[in-house]
Amino acid sequence: MRWRSLGLVVVVWFLLSACEQLSSTTSLKLAHGLDVSHPVHAGLQFMADRVAAKSGGKLLIEIYPSQQLGTERQTLELLQIGSLAMSKTSSAVMESFSPNIQVLGLPYIFRSRQQAYNVFDSEIGDELLLQGEDYWLRGLAFLDAGQRSFYTKEKPISTPSDLDGMKIRVQESPTAMNMVSTLGGAPTPISWGELYTALQQGVVDGAENNPPSFYTSRHYEICKYYALNEHTAVPDMLVISTIFWNRLSDQEKLWLTEAADEAVVEQRRLWQAAEQEALDAMEAAGVEISRPDKSSFMAKTADILTGYKEQSPEFKTLIERIQAVPE
């Protein structure tokens, strides 16, 4: 009997120790809609590894890719109610929660990739990251999502007139829909996870996205024309629920923000390598890659930028500040 009592004490001690260890670890679930081969996923995994290393395993990030926990909009809604800690989302989807974000999706607002980076890394970027806090969504970082261009099934796009009447998939973004309409197309919002089937079944005639996303989604199996007109450079955003953010200790917040900043640098490096790899692989798979003259697309969409400046003094000031950032 004495041995049984001793055994019970040992078991109870073990369970209490396990519970103590468990309670000393904070785990955050992070969801996104991309394939695990995508450079954005690789950047997020780098961040998760850095968080674990910095915290000695006291703060962990569990990543759920490929829309396992829902579309980008759905995951943001889960963040708002505190059912999910973190999400990677396109800034275009954040427009509904943080209206000023939409200026980042204006056609040709950035002069170059480096200038876009400089904007994201500036006070402007910091301000935009925090503007969703009123909706329980705190931005931690902007991630490189390259430049978006049109890909189509039946014919190449050389000038805006080639888009006349074509159904083009866009994100759930008023800015993106306005741009495609201005160029003559029929914007059709469809979730990323449903797009392959929509292209296959002819629900849409094409879409617009960056090279790695076009490639890792295997949309190149259906769309054999890719026109690098590079109309927008809409960044991705790493977002945390303010409900979870406010629960973190100051030390946990520091580990997380430092790891996110380091991941931005690494993700940009991964992105640029993946971009060229994707273009090479698509070309080898029979995709006709063209580089149309951007001037006609810029001229056709110029009124969109002007319209936003006239919409409000706040938009005008924000756009002018972005345009003043050097390369």
Beta strands in the chain (DSSP E): 26-31, 59-64, 86-90, 137-143, 148-152, 167-170, 186-189, 206-209, 225-232, 236-241, 288-290
pLDDT at site 23: 54
Q: For the chain, give every residue range classified as CATH 3.40.190.170.
A: 24-145+234-276, 148-233+280-324
Q: Tell me how far apart the alpha carbons of residues 321 and 324 are, in angstroms, rounded to a whole number.
A: 5
Strand order in the sheet with 137-143: 59-64, 26-31, 86-90, 236-241, 137-143
Please list, in sequence order, all residues whose beta carbon lies within 8 angstroms of the beta carbon of residue 304, skipping any fewer than 6 positions away: 106, 107, 178, 179, 182
pLDDT at site 128: 97
CATH classification number, 24-145+234-276, choose in 3.30.2350.10, 3.90.1070.10, 3.40.190.10, 3.40.190.170: 3.40.190.170
Residue 35 near residue 216, CB atoms below 8 Å: yes
Question: What b/e string do you get for 157-187 counting C-beta neighbours within 10 Å, with b at 16 or more?
Answer: bebbebbeebbbbbbbbbbbbbbbebbbbbb
Q: What's the topology of domain 148-233+280-324?
A: D-Maltodextrin-Binding Protein; domain 2 (3.40.190)
User: Along the 327 residues of the chain, how does pLDDT read in single tens digits?
Assistant: 433 433 433 333 333 333 333 458 999 999 999 999 999 999 999 999 999 999 999 999 999 999 999 999 999 999 999 999 999 999 999 998 999 999 999 999 999 999 999 999 999 999 999 999 999 999 999 999 999 999 999 999 999 999 999 999 999 899 999 999 999 999 999 999 999 999 999 999 999 999 999 999 999 999 999 999 999 999 999 999 999 999 999 999 999 999 999 999 999 999 999 999 999 999 999 999 999 999 999 999 999 999 999 999 999 999 999 999 999
Strand order in the sheet with 288-290: 186-189, 167-170, 206-209, 148-152, 225-232, 288-290
Model pTM score: 0.88
The CA-to-CA distance between both ends of the chain, in Å, stands at 78
